[in-house]
Amino acid sequence: MNKISTLIIYILINQSSWAHEAPVNISKTRADQCGRSSHAGMGSIYTNSYEAEIKLRKQCQQSPSVVQLGNFCQEAISTLNYSENSTLNDVAEGATNLYFKSYAADVLISEIEISGVSPKPLPKCLKGIATNSKPHLEARKSSLKPENMVSAGVLMEIYDGGFLSFEFDNYTERLTDTFPVLFKPKSRGESLSGLVEESLGDKYEYSNKDGRSHADIMDAFNALYSNDSTFSNKVNSKISSIKKEYANSLKTKLKDICSRTPMQIQKEHPEIFKQAILDMNDNQRLGANQYLCKQKDYYDPSDYDSDCDGESDKDDPVPLDPFKPNPNKSHSGSSMTNPPYSSSYDYEVTQNKNKVELKTKLSFDTSTLSVEDAKSFKANLTKCSETLEKSMNDSYEDLKKENPNFSGKMSTKIEIEFGDFTFPSFSVTKCYCSDCKDRVVDPDDSTTLLFFDNYISHTTCWEDLTDTQKKAVEEEFPDGEYRWRNRENAANLTTKVDCKTMKHEILHRFGLPDEYSDRNSYPYNRIGCNIMGDYNRKNDELIEGRHIEAIISPEQCK
């Protein structure tokens, strides 16, 4: 019996130490996590691919010491009586091979099962590899619920159906990764969307530019699905056939897991590979370091510049840690993308001795406001920004408890300027109807042309609309006055904005993405009970330590 086979037997006996440990429990519903009712809640687990890459690239920059690796492998070595010629790397690499094979087998088996098909008979080797732990089972079940599958199909049509669909490449990739049952091949999703479109008729409408009608379509679908048994039976039958076809295709791939290396799993099942990295415990990641960091197709030092200093890791004697503040390095002008939208930020992070200094200057265009409104807004923003500075500094203290890379103190300074700017950080208006942008043609605008419609300005307050404009809005939205409401974003605020929203939008300027589920734009299970996520009374202004880590150590350098 070779050493790897012996190792597999040993680890299977001690499976408890190889359970797949998730960094967060995403199987809980939104109601469980945030005390709120759930929405269409797509149960995605495949949304952290860059994070997975960074975790092991970071590990690759510092190989574990003999002592660290020895502690990891000692029990296996003493139990299996390895010969003197055996190395710690042999044990670590064998464990890594087993981890990725067993993780992939567990996912594929449970994907087949939740699609309504039996994975048996299993290949003989899988009986010794699969642990049957079924990682993230509830989240993956959620993605196969009828409402979520239909919602994904509708979104793909919205964002992939236009002439300029390349703008949403990242967004559609996330949909494809989350719902492979629908989009591999895509014709499956089209067959389901076609059934829904045919049944909904005029209510299946997504002609607006920003995809906001997704919510309207899902409202119409839910109503028909709940009240028309013939329609619901057709949808359920279609979904059942799609799931079975998908499951049978996975059974073929399952047979190949026995002979696959981790790098082959990465190429054939990239989402599973990356999620396996995220779910590793510290010891498993230590062992994976010995295997993955040597793979040119995973981590090639000549292709990476981890500290963004212009020198590749291969030629850099000190490539540094991409998650640690770089002394006197400015990150101004970088950008982070949260598809399909993006948040640009411009700030400086410097480290002076044992103090991290975070500075930014934000401009607010208040030129359209009355003197009284401008004065009130300035007072509220000034007070709010001061509390935000303190909250960010306090969160740095939390970060130090979570991550030993960080120490000392952090000082945050948000400089604010008001005036009439051509390119302000924020435009401030009395009202801002973001949900209504490019939705309602202005009946009072005589310049409306045949091919170029002029829409009612989304900075107009409801009470300032004319009767004909209000009628046009209500024809588009049955609850017109409610829909014509303020919804601020990372570039537009209103005079009625509350402090929590101000802080949320300012933090976007530091590059933090939204962490809430929104069936209009963010239909992913990326729930955070904090200021960037879903609010509740306990943590509606919470800034987590990981948020500060992301801010002071940008993940992407451009």
The radius of gyration of the chain from alpha carbons, rounded to an integer in Å, stands at: 26
The DSSP symbol for 344 reads: E
Q: Three-state DSSP class for 361?
A: strand
pLDDT for 216: 77
Strand 335-338 to 347-352 pairing? unpaired
- pLDDT band, residue 251 (cuts 50/70/90): very high
Mean pLDDT over the full length of the chain: 76
**Looking at 164-178, 269-283, 341-355, which range is the least confident one?**
164-178
Task: Tell me the pLDDT tens digit for each residue of 483-519.
Answer: 888 888 888 999 999 999 999 999 988 877 777 655 5
The DSSP symbol for 234 reads: H
pLDDT for 363: 95
Instruction: Decide which of 314 and 81 is more confident.
Output: 314
The closest of 183, 123, 135 to 159, measured between CA atoms, is 183
Q: Which of 21-25, 46-50, 221-225 has the highest mean pLDDT?
A: 221-225
Q: Which of 31-45, 114-128, 267-281 has the highest mean pLDDT?
A: 114-128
Residues 6+ apart with CB under 8 A from 398: 544, 545, 548
Task: Tell me the pLDDT tens digit for each residue of 112-169.
Answer: 999 999 998 888 888 888 888 888 787 778 778 888 888 888 877 776 645 454 546 6
Give the CA dihedral 528, 168, 196, 176, nearest 10 degrees: -70
Instruction: Decide which of 212 and 141 is more confident.
Output: 141
Q: Label residues 270-296 b or e (16+ Cβ within 10 Å = b).
A: ebbbbbbbbbbeebbbbbbbbbbbeee
Q: How far apart are CA 459 and CA 315, in angstroms?
A: 53
Mean pLDDT computed over 24-45: 32
Q: How far apart are CA 43 and CA 175, in angstroms?
A: 11
Write the single-letter amino acid at 266. Q
State the first-to-last Cα distance of the chain, in angstroms, to the nearest integer. Answer: 51
**The two three-digit tokens of residue 453, written as one number:** 């419609």
Element (DSSP H or E) covering residue 373: helix 371-402
Contact 239, 146 (CB under 8 A): yes
Query: ∠ CA(21), CA(22), CA(24), 5° rounding?
Result: 140
Helix, strand and coil percent figures for the chain, each rounded to 5: 50, 10, 40
pLDDT for 24: 27
Percent of the chain having pLDDT more than 70? 72
pLDDT for 247: 94
pLDDT for 79: 55
Percent of the chain having pLDDT more than 90? 29
Q: Determine the distance from the C-alpha atom of residue 222 to the mean position of all C-alpha atoms in its chain, rounded to a whole number.
A: 26
Mean pLDDT computed over 434-438: 71
What length does the chain have?
A: 558
Flag whether pLDDT at 4 surpasses 80: no
Task: Tell me the pLDDT tens digit for each residue of 355-413.
Answer: 888 889 999 999 999 999 999 999 999 999 999 999 999 999 988 887 776 788 999 99
- pLDDT band, residue 228 (cuts 50/70/90): very high
Q: How far apart are CA 312 and CA 303, in angstroms?
A: 7
Write the single-letter amino acid at 368. T
pLDDT for 394: 95
